[in-house]
Chain A
């Protein structure tokens, strides 16, 4: 069976049972779910027997496990190992560890490293603000690209078609300051491309701001971004971006890009775009 993909190429047939198993895992991972066989079957439109067989097979692989009291299913311990392996094998994350630590202590703020995943930024590394306060680990968080500096930093350096599709992806407001107008956002991305650094001022969380810069690979593609995130009164004191943090983020992203194999990183003006 060969179906055309949107760009006209042929699509390889997928194996139905594997696809269904993957959907079960994603379903169990999408909420704080413990679901019974019937619930799984109903939500995925499967026959109960089919759902049962899939769950038993996944259970044997420890990808799901059954709660002994209720009999309901949840993700199993093997998922944690796979998740960790994803992080450990992620090149940008692996190379960012020392850079992120150094940026966090230099800037005295929390640091995040993110990659684009669909129209969100997936946080692959997070260093806490070094002040002994209680914080929540954000590794694995999925933030709408347009509401964080990481996303804007990545988007500003994407090929035109990809950037356009992000701008058209439906921009939801996370706060009263989130920019949801594609034209305004596009202009600010042009500024990011010139400055080489992006700012987010209370556009994801009230009271919080982020300063981020893109990270490039040896092909010159923006493969992710690194930034400092913290209280707006420290990152943007009196309405002006902290020059110290700006410099620190820029230098860190350049160093990390070099580690990723990038050549000398220049800031690109609008004319540099194809």
Chain B
């Protein structure tokens, strides 16, 4: 997230609040520090905790959106110490539900959802086709990146960019971009499990 911070800030400066990258870096850095200090918590609890940190430390719209997403995902995982691809799928779906409830965004609005929804679909499709979670996560990253790039010509229909005028057209959405990063992180983590 730190490496992407400047890139995200540039994107956001073109169309939004100019602080998405800074905000995300601050929030995730805080979450990492907090994680280092925690003892053995089940993954669900960890997600809830990180979600809470993001809500308080990221700021902007991204904080509540990503924070709620992770909290809901964590809640759905319960206190299981291990979970399978199916449980992860449910957690991801519930996370998206949290984002859409808060932000009311749909595909095409030029938001996080434009990367997340295709990623979720790809993840599920791969699981149903018999792939394991790690492969499904990699397919999800590809779909998230495709979705992220697809936001370039879109005109924003949510968020500050939606009422600043047409200047959002021609720029990639910062929220969709950071979403692709998060799915990449997920895929990386699952790859490491194998």
Q: List the interface of chain B (C-beta within 8 A of A).
A: 9, 13, 16-19, 22, 59-61, 63-65, 100-104, 155, 158-160, 162-167, 169-170
Which single member of A138, A173, A206 contacts B164 (CB below 8 Å)? A138
Q: A138-B160, A173-B104, A176-B102 are in contact. List 8 more A-B contacts (CB 8 A).
A: A134-B13, A134-B17, A138-B164, A141-B163, A142-B165, A143-B163, A206-B102, A207-B60
Cross-chain contact A136 with B102 (CB below 8 angstroms): no
Q: Interface digits, A133-166 against B, CB 8 Å rule (1 contact, 0 not)?
A: 1111010111110000000000000000000000
With A135-B18, A174-B104 as given contacts, are A231 and B59 in contact (CB-CB < 8 Å)? yes
Minimal beta-carbon separation of B178 from chain A (angstroms): 15
Query: Please, how many angstroms separate the alpha-carbon atoms of A157 and B100 in the complex?
Result: 34
Cross-chain contact A133 with B103 (CB below 8 angstroms): no
With A134-B13, A141-B164 as given contacts, are A175 and B102 in contact (CB-CB < 8 Å)? yes
Residues of B within 8 A of A174 (CB): 104, 158, 162
Q: Check A32 for interface membership: any CB of B closer than 8 A.
A: yes
Query: Please, how many angstroms separate the alpha-carbon atoms of A32 and B103 in the complex?
Result: 26
A-B contacts, 22 of them at CB < 8 A, read A30-B166, A31-B166, A32-B166, A32-B170, A134-B9, A134-B13, A134-B17, A136-B13, A136-B16, A136-B164, A138-B160, A138-B164, A140-B165, A142-B163, A174-B158, A175-B103, A175-B158, A178-B104, A204-B163, A206-B65, A207-B61, A208-B61
Counting contact residues on chain A (CB < 8 A from B), the size range is 20 to 34
Residues of A within 8 A of B158 (CB): 174-175
Which partner residue on chain A sits nearest B160 by CB separation? A205
Residues of A within 8 A of B102 (CB): 175-176, 206
Query: Please, how many angstroms separate the alpha-carbon atoms of A235 and B61 in the complex?
Result: 15
Cross-chain contact B104 with A176 (CB below 8 angstroms): yes
Residues of A within 8 A of B104 (CB): 173-176, 178
Minimal beta-carbon separation of B52 from chain A (angstroms): 14
Query: Please, how many angstroms separate the alpha-carbon atoms of A205 and B175 in the complex?
Result: 14
Minimal beta-carbon separation of A216 from chain B (angstroms): 25
Q: Which 3 A-B pairs have the closest CB atoms?
A: A206-B61, A134-B18, A31-B166
Which single member of B22, B103, B160, B164 contacts A176 (CB below 8 Å)? B103
B-contacting residues, A120-138, CB 8 Å = 120, 133-136, 138
